[in-house]
């Protein structure tokens, strides 16, 4: 019997979780400006159009994709719409994307690890020495062992035991992607991901690692560098932030495709073995 999962797929959940990161980037692009306008001919025309009296403060934001009038009642003084303040949207997009990755990896493992264990049996543990060393302290009690004897749900029990053991921090960033891919039967996951995306492996790994590190800087030190926690916040720009968010999406989609292919292969091998 091959175990299947009928709940929301890891990919669907990831797409839901990455959407806020994309939205924050789009909002930044809408509000991005070089100059805020408070007293121009256009502002005076709009004042009449919206029925604002002469005492009401109006701020006009416009760029090549957006024209917006901010009224006084919005309680958004001009300073909140300047680039240093808007950069917080970029920082939060990085946080949201990293959180989507950290949520996706355990869910992908939870959905597919029982299949790998059922199909490969005791051979499911990857040959990766770092991963084997990390798992060396995983223990099954006598009651656990007795429970597994003849239990058709043994693969699911083992998978849940393994997931309970793995530290959530371990399933994050470059290392987490490698660990999940390896446990799900991918040989050299990063090599396969880079091939799937036709991108340089070292560049992909570095960007994922830099994004994870930046997320930690933002969350724990208000975007101060770990080497200078008392200094100024690090500079951030739209181009790098979008690249980071997009790369997390591309890597997760590639990993999802590769794992899906691998699950089909394992099931086919298991069915042939059963039928032999």
Q: Rounded to 5 degrees, what angle do the CA atoms 189, 193, 198 make?
A: 150
* pLDDT number for residue 35: 83
Task: Give the whole-angstrom CA distance, residue 61 versus residue 43.
Answer: 10
- Please list the pLDDT of the chain residue by residue as tens digits (276 residues): 444 445 789 999 999 999 999 999 999 999 998 888 887 888 888 888 899 998 898 988 888 899 889 999 999 887 888 899 999 999 999 999 999 999 999 999 989 988 888 888 777 778 877 777 777 777 777 677 767 777 777 777 777 778 777 766 678 899 999 989 999 999 999 999 999 999 999 999 999 999 999 999 999 999 999 999 999 999 999 999 999 999 999 999 999 999 999 999 988 887 877 665
Task: Give the whole-angstrom CA distance, residue 159 versus residue 151.
Answer: 14
Other beta carbons within 10 angstroms of residue 62's beta carbon come to 14
């Amino acid at each position: 019997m091959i175990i299947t999962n009928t709940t929301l797929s890891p990919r669907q959940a990831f797409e839901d979780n990455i959407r806020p990161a994309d939205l924050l980037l789009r909002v930044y692009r809408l509000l991005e400006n070089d100059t805020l306008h408070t007293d121009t001919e256009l502002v005076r025309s709009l004042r009449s159009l919206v029925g604002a009296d002469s005492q009401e403060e109006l701020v006009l934001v416009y760029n090549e994709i957006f024209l917006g009038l901010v009224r006084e009642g919005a309680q958004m003084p001009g300073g909140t719409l300047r680039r240093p303040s808007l950069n917080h949207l970029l920082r939060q997009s990085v946080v949201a994307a990293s959180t989507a990755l950290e949520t996706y990896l355990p869910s992908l493992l939870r959905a597919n690890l029982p299949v790998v264990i059922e199909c490969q049996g005791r051979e499911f543990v990857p040959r990766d020495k770092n991963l084997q060393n990390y798992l060396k302290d995983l223990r099954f009690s006598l009651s656990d062992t007795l429970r597994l004897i003849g239990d058709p749900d043994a693969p699911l029990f083992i998978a849940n035991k393994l997931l309970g053991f793995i530290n959530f921090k371990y399933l994050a960033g470059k290392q987490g992607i490698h660990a999940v891919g390896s446990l799900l039967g991918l040989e050299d996951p990063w090599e396969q991901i880079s091939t799937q995306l036709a991108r340089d492996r070292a560049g992909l790994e570095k960007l994922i690692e830099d994004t994870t590190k930046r997320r930690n800087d933002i969350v724990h030190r208000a975007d101060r560098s770990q080497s200078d926690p008392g200094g100024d916040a690090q500079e951030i720009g739209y181009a790098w932030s979008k690249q980071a968010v997009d790369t997390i999406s591309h890597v997760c989609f590639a990993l999802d495709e590769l794992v899906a292919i691998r699950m089909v292969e394992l099931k086919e091998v298991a069915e042939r073995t059963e039928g032999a």
